[in-house]
Amino acid sequence: MLTPQQLEAFMRHQPVAFIAPTDQSTPSNQRAPLRPCGRHGMSEFYFSVNANALPAGQYQQGPNVNLYFFRKGLFRYESVMLSGRMEILRDPELKKDLWRPKNRLFYHHGSDDPNYCILKFTTTEGRYYCDLKTEPILIS
């Protein structure tokens, strides 16, 4: 079993995180955003997203989602799947804190752009997979 620090490093080094709704009331619509724009250990992840995009509306209707990180090596496949809830945040201070200069390509009015919002994922449970074995992850 990897330590929490090793698991965090694994997730930090993956180029994308796949997000998939798990509510039965919501049609499956998997997304592959860029890396999280912020995080607190393995318990909270933040993503920049367009407020008018389909996922933002979906998460209002059904906030239960899975967050999936993976790495396929030559001889080894590793993954971390986290289950939890997604919230849509429009807090101006948080948007400023998580703002990145590259965001200006999509949000011309900066962190105050009305289409710029933040998705906050809060982990409730997780699993780690490697070498045909899976084990639970303790979330603190």
Question: The domain spanning residue 119 has which CATH number?
Answer: 2.30.110.10
Q: What is the pLDDT at residue 54? A: 61
Q: pLDDT 10s per residue in the chain (140 long)?
A: 788 889 999 999 998 898 888 876 655 666 656 689 999 989 999 998 888 876 666 777 778 999 999 998 888 899 999 999 999 899 999 999 999 999 999 999 999 999 999 999 999 999 999 988 999 998 86
What is the extent of the structural domain holding 17? 4-137
- How many domains is the chain partitioned into structurally? 1
C-alpha 3/C-alpha 27 separation (Å) is: 35
| CB contact at 8 A, 93 and 123 | no
Burial degree of 131 (CB within 10 A; 0-12, 13-18, 19+)? exposed
Q: How many CA atoms lie within 13 A of 34 on its CB side?
A: 10
Total residue count of the chain as it appears in this document: 140
